[in-house]
Amino acid sequence: MNEEFHYKGGELYCENVPVTRVAERIGTPVYIYSQNHFIKQANAIREAFKEVEPLVCYSVKANSNLGLLRAMALAGAGFDAVSKGEVYRALRAGAEPGKVVFAGVGKQADEVDYALSQGILMFNVESESELDMISKVAGKRKVEAPIALRLNPDVDPKTHKYIATGKRENKFGIDLERAEKCLTRIKELKNLRLRGLHIHIGSQITQADRHAEAIDKVTPFIEKVKKGDFPLEFLNVGGGFGISYQPGEGLAIGEFAKIMVPKIKALGLKMLSEPGRFISGNGGILLNRVIFDKPSGDKNFLIVDGAMNDLLRPSIYQAYHLSWPVKQAGLPDGAALGDKSPLTDAAAGKDPVTYDVVGPICESGDYFALGRKLPRMKEGDLLAVFSAGAYGFSMSSNYNTRGRPAEVIVNGNEFWVARDRETLEDQVRGERLTPRETFKA
Ligand code: LLP
């Protein structure tokens, strides 16, 4: 459900703030986040999985805005990081180091050293070579590095192929045969302590049995590890809980818990999870203004000021994002993106138009929505692209030398700018017109 973004009196609100107000004060395009949504979603996981003492480590990559990370840290969340930069961001936002986990197939020694120096909870190790490297770095510091082995359970998560990570052919995790060898290696190496096992099979998973199958596949291995005198405490089930991008999609968190909790409980381990999209996805919109309404050939292009550099998901995953006018007379109060959402073709009114909603970038792949029936819109109107809180701003770029949008956090009746809109100067920072220093070949 997504009631933090809802219509009242025929216009879109985020919590108690009409989003038009944000556009007037801050301009467009602008990301608008509901802080309450982030906190509520984290609490929903804690509640659903309470029997297995869950530690929710919010996946920083989904939305790494410092203001949001701070709100999450204050609400007791841990963090899942995949780079030194993400560890830094989490700590900068006030994370407890002992609640930060560090994953990734290509960690480098300086990143490991930094994370060790900060006292993070553990590294999710993805290869045999990485075991050697982490042990060496820990040895230099004369400490034991806490680790989990990321297992590749060879499970099809039934999602977009770019975001499937737990199949044998994917680069992630360690297959179960090699994982056995890793146990021997961990014993040989002096500076490692195996505290957990980790699986993350993919993202936007909407079938609970996918997670269940992953746990089942690794269970015999976990039983073996437990017999092998390792101080195992955690099963990290990764992220992946899917959300509704359109009515009927997604699955209540309780449905995942129902099938996963008994399995985790039987293993006698605490659950750690790394949700990204579930926390942030429906906690944000990208608000755009219509620049032109351009009929061309047989089509109607609605050209808005946001573009693929701001929100890449439709262009690279052909992802569906609800796009809807901010003002529509007659919409029932409470209308929102949810199971009974009226924001569908049928609500497009008496004079609907089939639009391609596109941005100003010089690529035909620059779009938010194709062939969508919407109420007729005109130049200057505001259009919201929903479900943009996850992998939106965090995947944005300056392509076409476009400044990245501002990010605004709404909390109840108030809103504040958590990241300034980038200026022209921001976009050329670090570049030079002439050499500061030249190097001989
Ligand atoms: N843990 C690990 C190790 C991950 O690689 C990821 C996401 C997560 C947790 C969080 O997954 P989530 O709960 O958000 O599904 N850019 C893509 C998604 C890439 C996901 C990468 N890994 C998209 O926009 O759909």
- The pLDDT profile of the chain, 441 residues, written as one tens digit per residue, is 458 999 999 999 999 999 999 999 999 999 999 999 999 999 999 999 999 999 999 999 999 999 999 999 999 999 999 999 999 999 999 999 999 999 999 999 999 999 999 999 999 999 999 999 999 999 999 999 999 999 998 888 888 888 778 888 889 899 999 999 999 999 999 999 999 999 999 999 999 999 999 999 999 999 999 998 898 999 999 999 999 999 888 899 999 999 999 999 999 999 999 999 999 999 999 999 999 999 999 999 999 999 999 999 999 999 999 999 999 998 999 999 987 788 887 777 888 999 999 999 999 999 999 999 999 999 999 999 999 999 999 999 999 999 999 999 999 999 999 999 999 999 999 999 999 999 999
pTM assigned to the model: 0.97
- Tell how far the Cα of 108 is from the centroid of ligand 1, in angstroms: 20
Given the residues 14, 57, 182, 362, the one annotated as active site: 362
The DSSP call for residue 90 is H
Query: Separation of 56 CA from ligand 1 center, angstroms?
Result: 14
H or E stretch covering 300: strand 299-304
d(CA 113, CA 159): 35
The CATH T-level fold of domain 104-273 is TIM Barrel (3.20.20)
User: Looking at the DSSP assignment, which residues form a beta bridge with residue 80?
Assistant: 59, 101
Catalytic status, residue 362: yes
Ligand 1 lining (C-beta closer than 6 Å)? 59, 62, 80, 103, 163, 200, 203-204, 238-241, 274-278, 313, 317, 390-391
Which residues in 15-28 are b (16+ Cβ under 10 Å) and which e?
A: bebbbeebbeebeb
CATH number of the structural domain 5-33+281-428: 2.40.37.10
Residues of the chain with CATH 2.40.37.10: 5-33+281-428
Delimiting residues of CATH 3.20.20.10 domain(s) in the chain: 104-273
* 246 token code pair: 């359109």
Contact 308, 315 (CB under 8 A): yes
Enumerate the β-bridge partners of residue 354: 373
What is the Rg, in whole angstroms, of the alpha carbon atoms belonging to the chain? 23
CA atoms within 13 A on the CB side of 186: 24
Q: Which residues lie below 8 Å from residue 296, measured CB to CB, with a gap of 6+?
A: none
